Structures are given as structure tokens and as C-alpha cells.
Structure 1
């Protein structure tokens, strides 16, 4: 980066990056899994899957929340020469770095259907939903603080794409209009021209 600036990725975008693939792979695996009678039978498999879905949503949505709160509280203002990463680049980087884990999760969810139909897929979908809820929680924090949260891209890469991992020492903040993603990491909607 020129003049000492750092590459910054949006925290909420990185958190949200895994939500859609986990959700859709989980739904697909559960849909295929429900076709297999399995050891426990479909009814027990779906009931177990529903319980796993709820637990996964709660655990993933609340995981490391204290760490996020501490990092948000100590966020420093981004420097003039920091480079803000586009939403699409952050999402692509996270998904590329985790593609094998996503594939293994999907295969494990499919394989588990032979024992407990649909449960593995519902667990994976619950993890995706939990990530979406965590990103929404971060979005509410960003609106309350009237500032978007960013993490250094090199720290993110060093910690395997975890925006609240050990390598991440602090967040940076910008105004609410910075970047191309809305609070919470969703695409920024542009007003239609009249």
C-alpha cells in the first residue's frame, strides 16, 4: 500500500461470506438426505436435524461475541491512505480460502444421511443462518455507532479468514457511507433514478 496505508476488509462482509454457501449446501444436503431412509428413519432424522439447526444457529450467532464487542469498542479511525476492499473481493477471498472446508462439510452432511437422514444438512444450514444473524448483529452495532467496521486484510489472511481471531489486534472504522456494502455486509442498495 502506498504511503503506509493498509488494505481493509469489512468485518460484517467477511462474517456474512460463508452464510449463503453453508445455507444452500445444507438445504441441498438435507433435501437429498431426506430421500434416504437411514438407520434412524426419516422422522427421527428430521426431528434431530431441526434440533441441530436451532442449536447451530444459537451457537454460531453468539460465538466470540465478547471478542467482537472488545474489538468494536477499541476501533480506531481508518487512515487517509488505507485502501477499502470491495465487498465482492472480500467475499471471493473468504470463499476461495474455505472452499475445501465447505466441500468437506457438504460431503459429511450427505454421508450422515445414511445414519440420520437430513440432520447433517440441517446442521450445515443452521451454521449459515447463524452467520447471517451474526452479520445482522454487527450491522446493528455499526448503525448504533454510525461507523462501519474494517479489519486489516493481512491480519485476516494470517488468521484463516476469521475477523475476530488471535491475529486480529484491532478494528478500524470509517463513516457509514464508505465502501460498497451496507451495515451488516449486504450489498448497498442504490436509489432508483427518476
Structure 2
């Protein structure tokens, strides 16, 4: 489940950094200094709002998690990331274009806002990873609930999470790739 949260972090971060970099090149209406300062404030606010938003819903769903059954369909990490990014590519493109367009008014602010949202998703995935390590169980969302919900792991269609052992699947706690020991 942290995989789905983390799936949007990298595209948002890189699109935001690129848009902010291009935005610094444009003087804008407010000027570069004001734009960068406003962008820094927006970055911090967006990171905090995204990282701490809906934690109560995530916590209540995690508390009521049941063991994954034999008939539950759980996706690999790579498939979950690919499906989320394919389903949201147009939103990501529109967000990037909006951040780039905002640079003509307030340089770099829109890009820094987008990068802050990506950072907030990464922080939320890290929080979920710490929770999974503490409980010694990976949390999963059933594929059918995730697809109905538009890729939101804490949306209305999600009734409860499924849990497996910490070594199940190809994802580590927090949604990162599982690191395998090198064969010597």
C-alpha cells in the first residue's frame, strides 16, 4: 500500500524541480527573489499538508487490517507503480504545465509547490514504512478496490487493508524495492 503512495512522489518531485528551474529563468511579474521565497514557503506547506493529510484514515485502516487470504489478489511493486503512473500521467502533465505557466507570474513558485507535494508523498510513505516495520507486517490494498478507487489507497472503496509477513512480495516496508543480497 505504501508503494501506491510512493508511486507519485518521484514524478511530482522531478517535474516540480524542472519547472522551478525553468521558472527561475523567467523574471516574472513579481521578480525572481519574491518568486523563490514564495516557492520555498509553498514547498514547506505542501510537504506538510500532503505528509500529514488523512493519517487518521490510514491509521484506522491499518488497525483493522486482516491477513491476506488465499484468494486475495495482491500486485507486485513494479505493476502497482506502473499502473498508478499510467493512470495519472495526464494529471501529472497538467500539473507540470500549470507549474510552468505559473512561472510567468511568480517565478519558480509553482514548480516548488509541485516538488513539495512529491516530498510530502515520500514522507508519508516513510511514515507508513516505519509503521509496517513496527507491526512486522506489510500492508496491501486489494487490486479490485484500488482500481475502482482511482489509485487512492485510502479512498472510500477501500474497506480494510490486507497484511502479510514482512518478507512477502518484492517491496520493502515503505514501498521501496526489496534489496537482495549479492551472491558471492
When normalised by structure 1's length, the TM-score is 0.94
Give, in whole Å, the separation in 1 of the partners of 2:51 and 2:100. 24
Give, in whole Å, the separation in 1 of the partners of 2:111 and 2:97. 10
Give, in whole Å, the separation in 1 of the partners of 2:99 and 2:73. 39
Which residue does 2:149 correspond to in 1? 159
Q: What secondary structure, in the 3-state scheme, does the structure 1 residue paired with 2:141 have?
A: strand
Q: Where in structure 1 are there 5+ consecutive unaligned residues?
A: 1-10
Q: Where in structure 2 are there 5+ consecutive unaligned residues?
A: none
Q: Which of 89, 95, 110 is residue 105 of structure 1 equivalent to?
A: 95
Q: What secondary structure, in the 3-state scheme, does the structure 1 residue paired with 2:140 have?
A: strand
Q: Which of 145, 165, 169 is residue 175 of structure 1 equivalent to?
A: 165
Give, in whole Å, the separation in 1 of the partners of 2:80 and 2:63. 23
Q: What secondary structure, in the 3-state scheme, does the structure 2 residue paired with 1:185 have?
A: coil
When normalised by structure 2's length, the TM-score is 0.99
| Structure 1 residue ranges (4+ consecutive) displaced by more than 2 angstroms after TM superposition | 80-84
Q: Bigger shift: 67-76 or 149-158?
A: 149-158
Which residue does 1:72 correspond to in 2? 62
Give, in whole Å, the separation in 2 of the partners of 1:180 and 1:60. 26
Give, in whole Å, the separation in 2 of the partners of 1:154 and 1:190. 29
